[in-house]
Chains A and B, each alone.
Chain A
Amino acid sequence: MDQEKALIEGCKKSNSEAQKELYHHFVPKMMVVALRYSKSQQEAEDILQEAFIKVFNHIKGFKGDSSLYYWIKRIVVNTALNHQRSKLYLFPMVDVQTLNEPDESFKLSDHSWEDLLQMIQQLPSGCQIIFNMYAIEGYSHKEIANKLNISEGTSKSQYARAKSLLKEKILREDRKAYERAR
């Protein structure tokens, strides 16, 4: 904790060594966050580059109300949303019919996070963003609706569609694995 405070103080003084250390400390986790909101490694790195520049330019305003990890993560997510906003504008999200409700006893333990990441990246852009925000970041549909300037119904229906598509993919992968095992 003291080390984190020292890093923050160093970054506030624009010390390049402190900036470098902070970057290397948080970037592996943030890379996964950026990957979840993007379609490729290159796109994720663009998001990260912009996000970390924002982090260092605004760190003087960081008061320590939340942990540094969540503060940086919020900047990465917001930067990713800004990146995706243009896509949402081009392909406006509309309410879609709610498909099969997911099984409450659904297990993902057989799948690595890399497999799940690949499935998430294959979702349509709107579904991908809303799934990340709701399922992983923990935003409510109301908060998502406010952030993306859409209706709560749209958020719910897009999430349901994402869930359904993911479930199909997971079941398909399970079936393949089962066949390979046989």
Chain B
Amino acid sequence: MKEQDRSNFENSFQEAFASAERAPDAQLWDKVALGVAKNENSGFKKRILFFKLMAAASVAFAAIIGGVYLYDYNFGSVNQYITNSAVVDNDTNKRNESSVQETLSIGQEKNELNKEQGSSQFLANDQGVGARSEHNLSDKNDYESRSKINGNSGNNMRKELAQNGVDFESKNSSGLGDKSDPFFAVSNGENTTSILTKTQPEKVDRKGVILGEDGALLSRELQLVPRLEYLFANQKSFDKMWVGLGVAYGQNFPSSSGQDNAAGLASFDVQGGSVEASQVRLSDESSGGVMTAGVTVGKQLSKRWILEGGLNYVGRSTFVESNLKVANNLRGEAVNDIESLAQEDRLELTNTYELKNNYHSVAVPIQAGFFLVDRQFDVVLKGGISNEILLLNRVEDTSGDLKSRSIKTGENSPYNTYILSGVLSSEFSYAFDENYYLSLTPQVMKSFNSIKDSDASGESKPLVFTLGFRLGYLID
């Protein structure tokens, strides 16, 4: 607004309020400080939300893959085998039919060649036909050599399959001349009709049958039977062991409730006696972060099952709003739980502040796992328990105004020393070397018993989401 437009009225109001001041309620600063602290934590919380969503999505993904695999494992294997057998038979038919056509073609062209050789004028004028005849002769030689290999291979394979209990429809087949033998039929160019109407070999009802000790021959023969070749190519030893170093970050939901400040104060002889339960503000714990780091040892028990254990350091945090402090020294100490105080502590009320509980513990997780995918890229679904030994809780005022306190576990402690939790996790790993792998490990963990060991302190059975990374070494 331009100055000249302003009347005396506006100027009078502006002057009246120019130096006006009024103090707001004294508690307003506490609210502002809390709001600022929460906003400063919100960036971290957004990052944690990402990890949480990733962990949930990964576990869901692994569960779906597991379901599909189990269904396939239980109901799909027979159909799969039938399909594979059909592929083998079809391939054999195709090869046979192709050979028959080649044979017929060779026969016809042989006749043509004879005719052509009888006519020198025709040969001289038509280079293309001559070239074609050479090609056909070459084809024929090639074909014959291939037929011999097939014939030998057929005999060898048939013998070795027979040694291993495989039953052929034609039990008296003895090599050349047997019309029911596809290998012979292919090699015998004159018996083309019998190939087209041949009897198919009976299906092999053993997936992992060991065929013999002649590796080179076996390898060549297996190329003719895709299903068996696949099975042998994918044979692995199932006694792998591994060790891994890992670190994980995530969010800790304390699920705390039922804190009874009145009961806590009743059992506490307040020095000075000025604090009443109605004045105390001690909120239930709200969610914080979690970090784990440790070593893992695992062993493959069978083709699909593994057992894994380890030793982890676990650091988890929660937040509490409090208006109590221990006034034993000038600075004062943060109070998160009346039950954590000693009888000689002098308790005082103060402005509401936010404090952080930092629980430090050592955990020994034991999990059984199931390989959903066992290739260069592995997917393992794991479940088990975590045995956690709580060492101490370090309580710190987030603003730094009050001194931190450490509350140890043990006798007279408000905390349980042993915490048993259920664990569900999945591991997505990639072997980037013969012995080394990197993995991503989303995990959900829920405590079965409360961290707190006091009726007045309430109950806290944390739910933890983490997303971890691990570098592992496969022991040969």
A116 within 8 Å of B (CB atoms): yes
CB pair A14 B40 closer than 8 Å: yes
CB pair A27 B20 closer than 8 Å: no
Contacts of A104 in B (CB 8 A): 7-9
CB pair B7 A102 closer than 8 Å: yes
Contact with A along B368-410 (1 / 0, CB 8 A): 0000000000000000000000000000000111000000000
CB pair B9 A16 closer than 8 Å: no
Contacts of B433 in A (CB 8 A): none
CB pair A48 B24 closer than 8 Å: yes
CB pair B17 A138 closer than 8 Å: no
The answer, among A19, A27, A108, A140, for a CB contact under 8 Å with B24, is A27
Nearest B residue to A24 via CB reads B29
Q: Which of B2, B16, B25 is packed against the most chain A CB atoms within 10 Å?
A: B16
A52 within 8 Å of B (CB atoms): yes
B46 within 8 Å of A (CB atoms): no
CB pair A106 B36 closer than 8 Å: no
8 Å CB contacts to A: which residues of B54-98? Answer: none
B28 within 8 Å of A (CB atoms): yes
Contact with A along B23-41 (1 / 0, CB 8 A): 1110011011101100110
Contacts of A103 in B (CB 8 A): 9
Complex: how many Å from CA A30 to CA B8? 24
CB pair B1 A49 closer than 8 Å: no
Contact with A along B1-24 (1 / 0, CB 8 A): 110000111101111110011111
Contact with A along B440-465 (1 / 0, CB 8 A): 00000000000000000000000000
The answer, among A20, A28, A49, A50, for a CB contact under 8 Å with B22, is A28
CB pair B401 A16 closer than 8 Å: yes
- Known contacts: A16-B399, A16-B401, A29-B21. The answer to whether A45 contacts B16 by CB under 8 A is no
Contacts of B9 in A (CB 8 A): 102-104, 106, 135, 163, 167
A62 within 8 Å of B (CB atoms): no
Q: Which of B8, B20, B400 is packed against the most chain A CB atoms within 10 Å?
A: B20
CB pair A108 B12 closer than 8 Å: yes
Nearest A residue to B5 via CB reads A140
Cβ distance A168 to chain B, nearest Cβ, rounded Å: 13
Complex: how many Å from CA A41 to CA B40? 28
- Known contacts: A113-B17, A135-B10. The answer to whether A28 contacts B23 by CB under 8 A is yes
Number of interface residues of B (CB under 8 A): 30
CB pair A31 B22 closer than 8 Å: yes
Contacts of B399 in A (CB 8 A): 16
Cβ distance A45 to chain B, nearest Cβ, rounded Å: 5
- Known contacts: A138-B1, A140-B1. The answer to whether A19 contacts B20 by CB under 8 A is no
CB pair A48 B28 closer than 8 Å: yes
Contacts of A49 in B (CB 8 A): 28, 31-32, 35
CB pair A108 B13 closer than 8 Å: yes
Cβ distance A44 to chain B, nearest Cβ, rounded Å: 7
Complex: how many Å from CA A57 to CA B25? 22
Contacts of B401 in A (CB 8 A): 16
Complex: how many Å from CA A139 to CA B5? 12
- Known contacts: A16-B400, A27-B28, A45-B24. The answer to whether A32 contacts B17 by CB under 8 A is yes
The answer, among A36, A41, A48, for a CB contact under 8 Å with B17, is A36
Contacts of B28 in A (CB 8 A): 27, 45, 48-49
A87 within 8 Å of B (CB atoms): no
CB pair A106 B32 closer than 8 Å: no
The answer, among A31, A102, A134, for a CB contact under 8 Å with B21, is A31
CB pair A44 B24 closer than 8 Å: yes
Complex: how many Å from CA A31 to CA B17? 12
Complex: how many Å from CA A36 to CA B7? 20
- Known contacts: A53-B35, A106-B8. The answer to whether A136 contacts B21 by CB under 8 A is no
A111 within 8 Å of B (CB atoms): yes
The answer, among B8, B25, B36, for a CB contact under 8 Å with A53, is B36
CB pair A116 B13 closer than 8 Å: yes
A180 within 8 Å of B (CB atoms): no
Cβ distance A138 to chain B, nearest Cβ, rounded Å: 5
Complex: how many Å from CA A136 to CA B11? 8
Complex: how many Å from CA A53 to CA B7? 36
A107 within 8 Å of B (CB atoms): yes
8 Å CB contacts to B: which residues of A133-150? Answer: 134-136, 138-140
A66 within 8 Å of B (CB atoms): no
Cβ distance B395 to chain A, nearest Cβ, rounded Å: 18
CB pair B32 A53 closer than 8 Å: yes
Contacts of A28 in B (CB 8 A): 21-24
Cβ distance B40 to chain A, nearest Cβ, rounded Å: 6
CB pair B1 A134 closer than 8 Å: yes
Nearest B residue to A139 via CB reads B1
Contacts of B400 in A (CB 8 A): 16
- Known contacts: A19-B33, A48-B24, A139-B1. The answer to whether A116 contacts B10 by CB under 8 A is no
Contact with B along A84-127 (1 / 0, CB 8 A): 00000000000000000011111111011100110000000000
What are 10 A-to-B residue pairs whose CB atoms are below 8 Å?
Answer: A28-B21, A32-B21, A41-B25, A45-B24, A50-B35, A53-B32, A107-B12, A113-B17, A116-B13, A136-B17
Q: Which 9 pairs of residues, A with B, have the shortest CB-CB distance? A: A28-B21, A53-B35, A108-B12, A113-B20, A135-B10, A32-B20, A52-B32, A16-B399, A56-B36
Identify 8 new A-B residue pairs, CB closer than 8 A, beyond the known A41-B25, A49-B35.
A24-B29, A31-B24, A41-B24, A105-B8, A117-B17, A134-B1, A135-B14, A136-B13
